Structures are given as structure tokens and as C-alpha cells.
Copies of this chain bind each other. A is one copy, B any other.
Amino acid sequence: MKKLINATDDILAESLRGFAAAHADIVELSEEPRFVMRKGGAVKGKVALISGGGSGHEPLHTGFVGKGMLDAACPGQIFTSPTPDQMIAAAQAVDGGAGVLWIVKNYSGDVMNFEMVSEFHDGNSATVLTNDDVAVESSTHSQGRRGVAATVIVEKIVGAAAEQGADLAACKALGDRVNSASGTMGVALTSCIVPAAGKPTFDLGEGEIEMGVGIHGEPGRRREALKPADAIVGEFVETILADLKPASGEEVLVLVNGMGGTPLMELYLVYDAVARQCAEHGLKIERSLVGNYCTSLEMQGCSVTITKLDDEMKSLWDAPVRTAALNWGNG
């Protein structure tokens, strides 16, 4: 295992300290229990958006804390859901009296830990569960689908609505709507290495890829021979559109998300392929985002997310945001 680290046990603490120091104008860090919150804490009268999940997906979620997006993020150990004490402390710090919206990716660990919060903490709250990964056919399991990169889009759009004063019920409804309007599929060219494990989660041969991979190095649909970007994107787009069933001429947002180890040059090449194929399907890409947003440590690969847009979602996407990882519209 080759990483820019000191001791395995200190990775998370040191990385969060570096993050908080580099973005001291945007966030504040609580080390114990561990959470990152918007600088200044609770905003009176505003619904507080709190997300969290295992670490190793940076900038998700800490990089999305700030004005117009999350009020707090609770980072768990690498690939491990955070614990209820973190969520409770974060809620106490950022609840501005209008309630808390939890944004949770659909993994049993995450779901159970967030569920436990309500057993220890009361307060007005609701939960949006993201489950945008279309790779795994839902019929073959009872766990539902995984929440992956569309979580970024949910956090951005609902974050803007909360900033504009939407109440808890409206935020919850909007979050569910964005999630349902989104589909994602990913591919891995290489495995990630969980530091505590010290070796790759899986072994891919020189000519192999894992189609439909998750963001924890979980296996996906199938392992197959490396194929051209156009063919990979072809399968992504077909699978996502079969799920989303957009109308022809429908407006969409496209997120090409790097898994952490793939350079921008390749991500833009993938975006080019997605754009060509969306055009063939008669879809209009109205908004786009290309970069590393929901990663899986140093894994090489990418995911593509397509979200059907309506006018409200478009205007909320464009609304000002000021976080470490997304920053636009600020005077």
C-alpha cells in the first residue's frame, strides 16, 4: 500500500484537520465527536441539512458543507458509516429551529446508524435516502439500490432550497424528487485500497474492468474485458435511461464523476461520449458537472449520473453555493 499518510489510525484526523485549516473561511471542525459544520453554526429559521457517511469519498460530504449546501457533515471511518453520537452533536450544533433534514446514502450501515439517532435525540427531522445506483437490478436483492453520486445533486439542490427558506417538508419532498429523477452507473478500472486492510479490495487483471461498481470497491454487475469509453458509456446511458424513462427532448443534468484516481482528461473524454449519446437519445443536457465529487479512495474509474431537470431544479442548481468543492454565484 502506497499512500501519502503517516500512521493508518491518524489518516482521518489529520486529513480533516488539513481540510478545516485550508477552508477555515467556510467550515469549522469538531474533532470529538467528529463533524464538520458550516462556519458560524446554526442559521436561525433555516432547515439544517446534515449528511454523513464513511470517509474515502471526498469531497463528499465535507467538501459540500457551506452556504447553499450542507450545514454539517459527519465523516465516519473509511468506508464505515459514522456513529450516532456524531450525528447528534452535529444536529445540536446546526439546528436553527426549523428542523433537520438527514441526507443518507442507502447502505444498511448508514441507514441503521441514522435510525438510531432518532432513538437518542428528539427534534423535528426528516430523512432523504438516496438510492440512485441503477447498476444492480433491484429484483435480485432486498436491500434496495445503493446511494452514490446523485447524492451530490440532491445536496446541492435541496441545499439551495433550504437556503431560500423552504421548510422541512418541502426540503424532504424536493430531495426525494431529485433522487427519483436520478440514475447513476459506475465502472472501476482498478481497485481502491482500504488503509486498514492494506491491500486492494479486489484484483482486476490488466485487461479487466468491473462494470457497475459501487463506491466502496464492492463488485458490480460483472467483470469483463476493458472496452472503449464509448461502449462503457453506452451501457451506462442505456441502463440509466431504461430506469429514468425520460421523454424525448427532456432536459437533464449530467454528472461525470471520477472515482479518485482517474485524471480529468479522461473524465472530459467520458463527458464527450455522454453528450454525444444523450444527443442521440434526444436529451438536452442543460447543466453538467465533471470532476471528482463522490470518490472511492484512489480507485480508477468513473460514474455517470443523469438527472431529469425541471425549472425549479435548474434554478436551484444555479443558486449560489460556497463550499470547498462547489463554489459559484458568490459576489
Q: Which residues of A contact B (CB under 8 A)?
A: 2-7, 11, 14-19, 21-22, 55-56, 58-59, 63, 187, 189-190, 206-207, 209, 226, 228-230, 232, 256, 260-273, 275, 285, 288-290, 292, 295, 297-298, 300-302, 327-331
Contacts and interface: CB of A to CB of B under 8 A. Distances in A.
Copies of this chain in the oligomer: 2
Given A18-B290, A272-B21, A288-B22, A56 B265 contact: yes
29 contacts: A2-B189, A2-B207, A2-B300, A3-B266, A4-B187, A4-B229, A4-B232, A4-B266, A4-B269, A4-B301, A5-B266, A5-B269, A6-B229, A14-B269, A14-B272, A15-B269, A18-B273, A18-B275, A21-B271, A22-B256, A56-B265, A58-B263, A63-B264, A260-B263, A260-B264, A261-B261, A261-B298, A264-B295, A330-B331
Given A18-B267, A18-B270, A22-B288, 4 more contacts: A58-B265, A260-B263, A263-B297, A328-B330
Nearest to A274: B18
Contact of A5 (B17, B229, B285): B229
B2 A206 contact: yes
Contact of A268 (B19, B190, B289, B301): B19
A266 B331 contact: no
